[in-house]
Amino acid sequence: MNATTLPRLAVTAGEPAGVGPELLARLAASDLPADLVAITDRGLLERAAAICGLSLHILDDDGARLTQRAAGSIRVRHVPLGTTEHFGHPDPANARHVLDMLALAAEGCLDGSFDAVVTGPVQKASINEAGIPFSGHTEFFAERAGAEVVMMLASPELRVTLATTHLPLSAVPSAVTAPLLERTLRIVRDALVARFGIATPRIAVLGLNPHAGEGGHMGREELDTIIPLLERLRGEGMELLGPLPADTAFVPAMRERYDAVLAMYHDQALPVLKSEAFDRTVNVTLGLPFIRTSVDHGTALDLAGSGQADPASLFAATRLAIDLARRGALA
């Protein structure tokens, strides 16, 4: 990518029976300034466009970089379906199709064919029902790239990262160790510098317990683990706030003091973010050697095939991928 070419983005359609293909069709119809390459079955994209009442100009991807793209025009890397989709009803026969899309996008990012990948929602249960162990996009791309990663959920107003993700609440305290927190904070700090262009990132770290443990009266994880680690990393020059009580960390006066938040567990911070910016929140995988953004919602099987699904999250994910790719090209 150079100053005259558009960011070249691989966009995967996700679960064929979900809303992803329709969202991708609406993205293709937009005038967003990106060289969009759909990673999907060409016929599926055509059928999704018809459901949405869109007339798209779909071409085979020749690998050439574009300096402009007309609204309604998109190139496609054809990944054949295992079986014809039935909207609202995922079929494990299409599990390999979904994984092949992700593999093609990852390989293209790793070899420089794409500047970023934007992913549509997948149905993890359907892939596992096909006998293929699959825990999610994040883990798939991390394994492909041989990287340690961190999940970030970002809106225009707030960036939240997670020390632990999809764990039962009872398993969180034992999972929150000093090595985990150190690895996570280093990945977040490095990504804020390299991807977001923040020279000296300020990271707010939430406590695990109510009132950040209240001096040990509500739990000792802050005293025994979190505080000693933060003090050591501050000694290296990292700008870290906390541990902060989660119930006051998101008030406006506090937000002015940090660039991102590290939460200890999934539901500690994400309800705040999603309640105020659900349709503008983007899932970003930090730590990969390439840019990956995603919608922050599921396959919405109840809406699939209706043409009514809201594309706002996919548009937000694509805009952020464009911004990150351009920033990287200028760095």
Which of 179, 167, 250, 178 is CA-nearest to residue 221?
178
Task: Give Cβ neighbours of residue 327 (< 8 Å, ≥ 6 apart).
Answer: 195, 196, 197
User: 292: annotated binding-site residue?
Assistant: yes
Region at 267 (left for phi over 0; alpha for psi -120 to 50; beta for the rest):
alpha
Distances 163 to 115, 141, 172, 264, 273 between C-alpha atoms, Å: 27, 18, 9, 5, 16
User: 297: annotated binding-site residue?
Assistant: no
Pairing verdict, β 116-119 and 150-154: unpaired
- Identity of the residue numbered 32: L
User: 283: annotated binding-site residue?
Assistant: yes
User: 217: annotated binding-site residue?
Assistant: no
User: 266: annotated binding-site residue?
Assistant: yes
Distance from chain centroid for Cα 294: 4
User: 124: annotated binding-site residue?
Assistant: no
3-state secondary structure of 53: coil
- CA–CA separation, 291 vs 320, rounded Å? 10
User: 78: annotated binding-site residue?
Assistant: no
User: 137: annotated binding-site residue?
Assistant: yes
Known binding residues are: 137-138, 166, 211, 266, 274, 283, 292
* Annotated binding-site positions for substrate: 137-138, 274, 283, 292
Which residues contribute to the annotated binding site for a divalent metal cation?
A: 166, 211, 266
